[in-house]
Structure 1
Amino acid sequence: MSISCVSAEEKRKESEEAAAATAIMARDEKIGIVGSGFIGQSWAMLFASVGYQVRIYDANPDQISSALDNIKKQLKTLKESGLLRGKLTADQQIQCIKAASDLKDCVEGAKFVQESVFEDMEVKKKVFQEIDEFAGPKTVLASSTSCIVPSKFTADLAHKENCIVSHPVNPPYYVPMVEVVPAPWTSKETVNMTRAILKEIGQSPVVFTKEQPGFGANRIQYAILNECHNMVTNGILSAEDVDALIRDGLGYRYAWMGPLETALLNANGMEDYMDRYGSTINNISKLLGPTPSWKKEDSKILCSQLESWLPTEKLQERREWRDVRLIALYKLKRDMKDN
Structure 2
Amino acid sequence: MKTAACIGAGTVGRAWAVVFARAGHEVRLYDVLEGEAAGRALSAARQTLTLFADNGMLDEAVETVLDRITPVGSIAEAVKDAVYVQESVREDADTKRQVFTEVATHAPADAILASSTSAIPGSEFLGHIANPERALVVHPVNPPSLIPLVELCGTGSTSRETIERTRLLMTEAGMRPIVLNKEIDGFILNRLQFTLVAEALHLVGEGFCTPEDIDAVLTDGLALRWASLGPFEVAHLNAPDGLQGFVDRLGPMMKHLGNSARTDYDWTQQQIAEAHSRLESRIPAEMIAERQAWRDSRILALRRMKQDTADPLA
TM-score higher than 0.5: yes
Shift of 1:159: 2.4
Question: Whole-Å Cα distance in 1 between the matches of residues 236 and 270 of structure 2?
Answer: 41
What corresponds to 1:292 in structure 2? 265
1:239 aligns with 2:214: no
Q: 1:130 to 1:295 in 2, by over 3 A?
A: farther
Separation in structure 1 between the aligned mates of residue 267 and residue 152 of structure 2, nearest angstrom = 28
Report the identity percentage: 36
- Structure 1: any 5+ residue segments left out of the alignment? 1-26
Cα distance in 1, alignment partners of residues 297 and 136 from structure 2: 31
Give runs of ≥4 in structure 1 deviating > 6 Å. none
Shift of the alpha carbon at 1:101? 3.8
Deviations 1:209-228 (Å, cap 9, x if unpaired)?
Answer: 11100111111111111111
CA RMSD of aligned residues (A): 2.1
Change (3 A) 1:289 1:35: closer
Q: 1:233 to 1:196 in 2, by over 3 A?
A: same
Report the Cα distance in structure 2 between the residues aligned to 1:49 and 1:170, rounded to whole angstroms: 17
Post-superposition CA distance 1:59-103 (Å, at most 9, x none): 22212233234323432443243122xx44434322322222421
Instruction: Tell me, in whole angstroms, the C-alpha distance in 2 between the residues paired with 1:53 and 1:30.
Output: 5
1:48 is matched with 21
Q: In the superposition, relative to structure 1, how do residues 168 and 55 fare at CA in structure 2: closer, same or farther (>3 Å)?
A: same
- The alpha carbon displacement at 1:37 in A equals 1.9
Farther-moved stretch of structure 1 (73-82 vs 326-335): 73-82
Work out the CA distance in 1 between the residues paired with 2:293 and 2:4.
29
Structure 1 CA distance for aligned equivalents of residues 298 and 222 of structure 2: 17
**In the alignment, structure 1 residue 81 sits paired with structure 2 residue 51:** no
Task: Select between 197-206 and 51-60 the one with higher mean Cα deviation.
Answer: 51-60
| Shift of residue 104, structure 1, vs aligned partner | 1.2
Contact 2:85 2:113 in 1 (8 A): yes
Cα 1:137–1:243, aligned 2, differ >3 Å: closer, same or farther?
A: same
Matched, 1:216 2:204: no
SS at match of 2:209: coil
The aligned runs of 1:122-161 (5 Å cut-off) are 122-161=94-133
CA contact 1:233–1:302 (8 Å) conserved in 2:
no
State the alpha-carbon separation in 1 of the partners of residues 149 and 261 from structure 2. 29
Partner of 1:70: 44
Residue 328, structure 1, aligned to residue 272, structure 2: no
**2:292 — aligned with what?**
319
Q: In structure 2, which of residues 68, 82, 95 is the aligned counterpart of residue 110 of structure 1? A: 82
Stretches of structure 2 that go unaligned for 5 or more consecutive residues are none
Q: Structure 1 residues 286 and 59 mapped into 2: Cα distance closer, same or farther (>3 Å)? A: closer
Once the two structures are TM-superposed, the CA of residue 304 in structure 1 deviates from its matched residue by: 5.0
Match status 1:251 vs 2:223: yes
The change in CA–CA distance for 1:72 and 1:241 in structure 2 (over 3 A counts) is closer
One-letter identity of the residue aligned with 1:118: R
d(CA) in 1 for partners of 2:243, 2:147: 28
2:31 to 34, 55, 58: 58
Question: In structure 2, do the counterparts of structure 1 residues 69 and 312 end up closer, same or farther at CA, with 3 Å as the change threshold?
Answer: closer
Moved more, 295-304 or 266-275: 295-304
The one-letter amino acid paired with 1:66 is R
1:33 paired to 2:6: yes
Moved more, 253-262 or 294-303: 294-303
C-alpha distance in structure 1 between counterparts of 2:49 and 2:276, whole Å:
37
Kindly name which structure, 1 or 2, has the bigger radius of gyration based on alpha carbons: 1
Tell me the TM-score normalized by structure 2.
0.91
Give the AA of the match of 2:69: I
- For 2:84 and 2:236, locate their aligned partners in 1 and report how far apart those are by CA, in whole Å: 38
